[in-house]
Amino acid sequence: MGAAFFPVLFFTAVWGAVGIGMPMMTPKGPHQNLIRCVLMLTAACCWLFWLCCYMAQMNPLIGPKLKRDVVAIIGREWHNEIVAG
């Protein structure tokens, strides 16, 4: 399983719109720079969190838990007998 192009492009565009487009539409006021900073940091953090979660699915660190009899059946089918010790 590899990374698909469309989800990466789609979510990059969504968070790019939040981080680039939304700060351009902030109303004038004393806290305009703070609102812009919050929007850009939110977009960057959410995109990075999504990307890490998405990429972690490519090669998971924790595999499925198999019962002993299932491992024995797999070993027998693959002609690699497991010796219980």
Confirm whether 85 is domain-assigned.
no
What is the residue whose two structure tokens read 């609102």? 35
Confirm whether 66 is domain-assigned.
yes
Confirm whether 83 is domain-assigned.
no
Confirm whether 82 is domain-assigned.
no
**Torsion region of 79: left, alpha or beta (phi above 0 gives left; psi -120 to 50 gives alpha):** left
CB-CB contact of 3 with 24 (8 Å): no
Please list the pLDDT of the chain residue by residue as tens digits (85 residues): 567 889 999 999 999 999 999 999 999 999 999 999 999 999 999 999 999 999 888 887 887 888 988 888 888 888 886 665 4
Confirm whether 62 is domain-assigned.
yes
Confirm whether 58 is domain-assigned.
yes
Per the structure, how many domains does the chain have?
Answer: 1
CA angle 49, 55, 60 (to 5 degrees): 115
Entry pTM: 0.67
Structural domain for 58, as ranges: 5-77
**How far from chain centre, in Å, is Cα 79?**
37
CB-CB contact of 57 with 7 (8 Å): no
